[in-house]
Amino acid sequence: MDYASIRLGQFVSRLNSNDLPETVRVKAKLCLLDAVGCLLGGHQTPVGKTISHYAQSIRPMAPSKGVRRGHLDPATSAACHALLINALDYDDIFWKGHPGATVNGAVLSVAPILKSSGQDMIQAIVAGYEVSGRVAMSFGHTSPRKRVHGHGTWQTFGAAAATAKLLGLDPTQTAHALVIAGINAPVPSVMKTVYGESPSMAKNNFASAAHAGVSAAFMAKAGMEGPLDVFEGDTGFWTMAGAEENNAKRLAGALGRHFEITDVGFKAFSCCRIIQACAQAVKEAFGGLEKKTALSDIEMIIAAVPEIACAPPFSTPRPETMWAAQFSVPHAIIATLLKIPPGPQWFTPQTLARAANHPLTNKILLRPRRASQYHGADISLMLGENLLGGASVLIATGEAAVPLSTELLTEKFSRLATPVLTAERTNDAVRAILGLEQAPTPDALVAAIGDALIW
């Protein structure tokens, strides 16, 4: 049978970086750069300490006093990395989800153990984004509002594909790695973890997704097999994931003609993709008035945003946690107006209190805007009935259609990395990632980011 899993397995196993377009190879390095920066930013949040304590508690005990504890297994390591990469909601964006958290989380855990070359890492990253993105985009929904929804569910395949590529699995083994990942993927829980009573630390469930994906590849290497028809039929993975339709051609057709990684973008603001254009419009609107207008002159802010952003959790004016703040339009507006740098500083207790108590928080009016696949936004800064200034952003800078420059992405990385690393090690990390194809092993990158990796 010509199962989708077999075609995807063949594609991943035979993928060669020498055959990839230069734009794809460069994009893979930028994806890793953004993910490592977000991981370092994640370490500066409370969840960073939580994950460090968790990892320490489950490392194998030392056999005797004075002997260091053992390392984590690569699947658990990948789970920790994926959660940290996504902690700030500053990680990459796609048409759906944040594929880089699970793909790069896996690569950062597996490649150093295997001493993979830079070329191997680039191949693995491209493979991970390709399979993960294709599974995501093969899902169809006919209902206007999904009842079952989850990114971690399909992002499991990205971790599995990347790990299978690093392990050098053959096409059949790779196919089995993918299907084992599918049947062990986490349940689609976003409608509870984000759209429930309040967004929570569990959020996108990327830790479980990365763990399942990496484990699946190692299981396949050991000889484990799964149902190769996991994608086919009414009981296929699309049904398990809560989709209502399955596009088989989008899943495994025309492989190699278009690479999913080229549709990946990088965020300029540490908040949900749905809010990116709104934050940018606020920055542009006030930036044009700043020399002649103070914040105290603004009497109302009218934000025309996607309809979904006019309801909780997006409309929450005073989020009490960093997780809720990542999905709050009012918080993003106030944090931007106060010129607080996106990243960990957006979510400190001091920033949450300052934004909650700011007079303008009560003066934000959200209005639904016409639907757009890029979640555009219009901002009007008002004095009474008079318009002080405004801005419209149809496509936020950072989307693949309007990409962040390498210079801006490097600046984002440095801002997130420097508080954790020294300035010298930050520069070393940038050089190691951007020069990845020349690296015989990941040792230079590992030396630069050091203890930020959870092993």
DSSP string covering 90-113, please? -S-B-SSS-HHHHHHHHHHHHHHH
Instruction: Give the Cα separation of 381 and 389 in Å (integer).
Output: 5
Instruction: Tell me: pLDDT of 348 over 80.
Output: yes
Mean pLDDT for 1-25 is 96
What integer pLDDT is reported at residue 376 of this predicted model? 96
Q: Is the peptide bond before 342 cis (omega within 30 degrees of 0)?
A: no
Mean pLDDT for 332-345 is 98
- Residue scoring higher pLDDT (149 or 124): 124
What integer pLDDT is reported at residue 278 of this predicted model? 98
What integer pLDDT is reported at residue 197 of this predicted model? 79
- Among the residue ranges 120-134, 157-171, 185-199, 238-252, the one predicted with the least confidence is 185-199
What integer pLDDT is reported at residue 104 of this predicted model? 98
Domains and CATH numbers, the chain: 4-267+400-452 (1.10.4100.10), 273-393 (3.30.1330.120)
Give Cβ neighbours of residue 98 (< 8 Å, ≥ 6 apart).
Answer: 85, 86, 91, 92, 151, 155, 204, 206
Instruction: Give the Cα separation of 85 and 269 in Å (integer).
Output: 14
What integer pLDDT is reported at residue 67 of this predicted model? 40
- Quote the mean pLDDT of the chain: 94
User: pLDDT > 90: what percent of the chain?
Assistant: 83
pLDDT tens column, 55-112: 999 887 645 454 445 689 999 999 999 999 999 999 999 998 899 999 999 999 999 9
The 10 Å Cβ neighbour count of residue 201 is 14
Mean pLDDT for 183-200 is 85
Query: What band does 313 get if pLDDT is binned at 50, 70 and 90?
Result: very high
Report whether 149 contacts 204 (CB < 8 A): no
Mean pLDDT for 143-157 is 81
Mean pLDDT for 352-369 is 97
Instruction: Tell me: pLDDT of 208 over 70.
Output: yes
Instruction: Give the global pTM.
Output: 0.95
Tokens encoding 290: 């700043």
Query: What band does 151 get if pLDDT is binned at 50, 70 and 90?
Result: confident
pLDDT tens column, 369-428: 988 888 999 999 999 999 999 999 999 999 999 999 999 999 999 999 999 999 999 999
Mean pLDDT for 282-294 is 86
Instruction: Give the Cα separation of 266 and 234 in Å (integer).
Output: 35
Tokens encoding 303: 């934000």
What integer pLDDT is reported at residue 66 of this predicted model? 47
What integer pLDDT is reported at residue 145 of this predicted model? 58
3 state DSSP class of 293: coil
Mean pLDDT for 190-207 is 83
Site of tokens 């191997």: 120
